[in-house]
Structure 1
Amino acid sequence: MTVHLPILEAFVKLGNYLTDFCENSYEKPSDTHSKFEMVITQAQHQNGWFTRENILFALKQWGDLLTEEHLTAWLSEYTLKYEESPKTIGIVMAGNIPMVGFHDFLCVLCSGNKVLAKLSSNDKVLLPFLAQYLIKQEPLLAERIEFTEGKLEGFDAVIATGSNNTSRYFEYYFGKKPNIIRKNRNSVAVLAGDETQEELQALGEDIFRYYGLGCRNVSKIYVPSDYDFEPFFTAIFKFSDIINQHKYANNYDYNKAVYLMSNFQIRDNGFLILKEDEGFVSPIAALFYSYYESEEALRKYLTENELQIQCVVSKQKNTDDVPFGETQKPNLNDYADGVDTLEFLLEL
């Protein structure tokens, strides 16, 4: 690993700052903390889904990851060099959950290249604030970080994250350059029927964190043919306060009304609607489920549909499955859609 040491050190300092902010912003409100509080408030005003709790959760995950130990272990798997003439990498960022584009931002800078980022209108203030913090730690980064509100131009490669619809637009505009173009994906959980209450509560975290808006959120569960839903509903009751968030409640009321008027059979506990459905993409405040007879056949089906799936969650060990409660705590080498972003950048 030969990543430029001051850049690595700047990210380590950022990690320390995020950890300190999440733990001490109220007790020790420094000037930087006070400014960041204003930015967080602004982010909440811009996007009603970005509650302070969820923003702090995202910041804490990055604080945990941006340590010298984690960064060096991750980067040691690659041959890096500091580019005196960096390539410009356009990043079109999504805005479904706070700072969802930070991993791409990190990969580009660690690869020795320049970030040219187009932020989502739903998440416009958090990353620029953190970028300014990084630049204060390492002024060299001022020449490596640029945000644009206009059309992306002058880039050598692009990483674009969006929906199945926007991916067609991305293919049209960016298809002639090296690219990573991401589409819709969702996560699923495979239940055996013998999960403990603690495991099912952890699954609730995978379902409800960020109101289910992330591609790593579980939007579909697979259950045995004789599955009893009562323990599941009992375990997730701890998340019942989610219905007090008005945007979530509006979605719950709307989707419940649509299902009832369409005479769909649903299971409902007052804050989550369960609907038997073969699809992977459930709407907000709803969770799809399907029964399975054979886990072997189910696993084959999931493999055949892997391009629609971000994570598979289960209690199985010694597999690529994500443990219950861990979907929104990815490691640095957990790349979106299974595409190694850093390797892509290093091969340009």
Structure 2
Amino acid sequence: MTIEARKENLVNLGKFLGQFSNSGIEKNEDVPHNDQFFDRLIDKIESAVHYNGWFTKENVLFSIEEWSKALTQENLDKWLSKYDFPEVAPKTVGLILAGNIPLVGFHDFISVLVSGHKVLVKQSSNDQLILPVLADYLIALAPKWKDSISFISESSEGASKMKNYDAVIATGSNNTARYFEYYFAGKPSIIRKNRNSVAILTGNETKEELEALSEDIFRYYGLGCRNVSKLYVPENYDFDAFFQAMYSWNPIINQAKYANNYDYNKAVYLMSQFKLLENGFLILKEDKSFGSPIATLFYEQYSDVEALKNELQEQEENIQCVVSKNVFEHEVDFGKTQHPELWDYADNVDTLEFLTKSV
């Protein structure tokens, strides 16, 4: 299959996904194979919501809609234009996917396929319902995909069940990364670890910018590596405007799993006599760590922005995104962390360069 044919299939997949969004699910009769897959995807969305308490329908549809926006001809052309795709015998690339947010491993999935390789997928038990539908949709578009896509059975556990692969992309925690590095030592690999995102505030942010930041904090309940889990604020920062900008997300406390985490973390902090700021659905705790618990946002004060920039550059292996305005060199705009482009790679590791040059 040529690179142009592979792109065309992904564009058609994007059109299929474009029928599903939080603004409404509406069937488009012009989408290929819709009679076969439209109702099937609706069923799997509902099942995913019941299977995983963190996968609300709103968040699942948000993820699907973002992928529909990403998979356009223009975006694919821009993403793939800088790579050479040599005509070589396809290799099998094993994927060990995370399951913290819906379709979190989809970028790796399409990267392997668009590069001309075969994909062998080990899904997380937390997110195993929707990706097989999208894989079958691609096969319906082009039966040649059938030989390029396979899944390890749900009953299999761990990396040790992955057989007959030439390279691997594995995503997990810092602890599982050590296991992955040992187990896959003889194969080309990308091993991803824990990362968090931070925001730098100066005190000059507009109401609209702070409101946009709330999306970076609360989307997916803060479970993604692109979610802001820590703030850097100037000394003696007044949090009033910040809390006012967060207010639109107050219904999040009605989600039982989130509320349980909020209550638990608040109780632990109070018993430990930590100084807290909170508004009934978000706890702010001064802490030097990056990874804050659910319903908690860490913050740290700074006095010298240049020193802060140097500190964050030294910590770049632990940071996915830095949200700021005219402060950091590779900053992300307020409200944009959960809207990555195809060329925004996890851990800042170029997946396609790996797939075209190292596999």
State the TM bucket, normalised to the shorter chain.
over 0.9
Partner of 1:20: 19
2-side partners of 1:317 and 1:64: how far apart?
28
1:234 deviates by 0.4
Partner of 1:295: 305
Q: Deviations over 1:211-246 (max 9, x none)?
A: 000000000000000210000000110000000010
2-side partners of 1:299 and 1:290: how far apart?
13
Which residue of 267, 278, 282 maps to 1:272?
282
Residues 186 and 311, structure 1, Cα contact 8 Å, conserved in 2: yes
Partner of 2:293: 283
Q: Which SS does the other structure have where 1:210 is aligned?
A: helix
Partner of 1:51: 56
Q: Which SS does the other structure have where 2:258 is aligned?
A: helix
Which amino acid is 2:150 matched to?
E
Q: Which sections of structure 2, spanning at least 5 residues, go unmatched?
A: none
Which residue of 122, 127, 138 maps to 1:123?
127
Which residue of 107, 112, 122 maps to 1:108?
112
Moved more, 144-153 or 156-165: 144-153
1:319 deviates by 3.0
Q: Deviations over 1:73-97 (max 9, x none)?
A: 11011001454x3100000000000
Which amino acid is 1:44 matched to?
V
1-side partners of 2:25 and 2:339: how far apart?
22
Which amino acid is 2:223 matched to?
L
Moved more, 202-211 or 32-41: 32-41
1-side partners of 2:6 and 2:27: how far apart?
30
1:6 deviates by 2.1
1-side partners of 2:4 and 2:233: how far apart?
49
2-side partners of 1:128 and 1:59: how far apart?
14
TM-score (structure 2 length as normaliser): 0.93
The aligned length equals 346
Which amino acid is 2:44 matched to?
V
Which residue of 307, 313, 316 maps to 1:306?
316
2-side partners of 1:274 and 1:161: how far apart?
29
1:20 deviates by 2.2
Residues 113 and 148, structure 2, Cα contact 8 Å, conserved in 1: yes
Which residue of 211, 219, 236 maps to 1:201?
211
Q: Deviations over 1:276-325 (max 9, x none)?
A: 00000100000000000010000000011111100000122783100000
Distance 1:191 1:312, change over 3 A: same
Q: Deviations over 1:233-283 (max 9, x none)?
A: 001100000000100000000000000000000001000000000000100
Residues 189 and 221, structure 1, Cα contact 8 Å, conserved in 2: yes
Which residue of 183, 186, 189 maps to 1:176?
186
Which amino acid is 1:339 matched to?
V
Partner of 2:8: 9
Instruction: Check if 1:163 corresponds to 2:184.
Output: no
Residues 21 and 33, structure 1, Cα contact 8 Å, conserved in 2: no
Q: Cα RMSD between the aligned structures? A: 1.5
Partner of 1:97: 101
1:168 deviates by 1.3
1:8 deviates by 1.3
Q: Which sections of structure 1, spanning at least 5 residues, go unmatched?
A: none
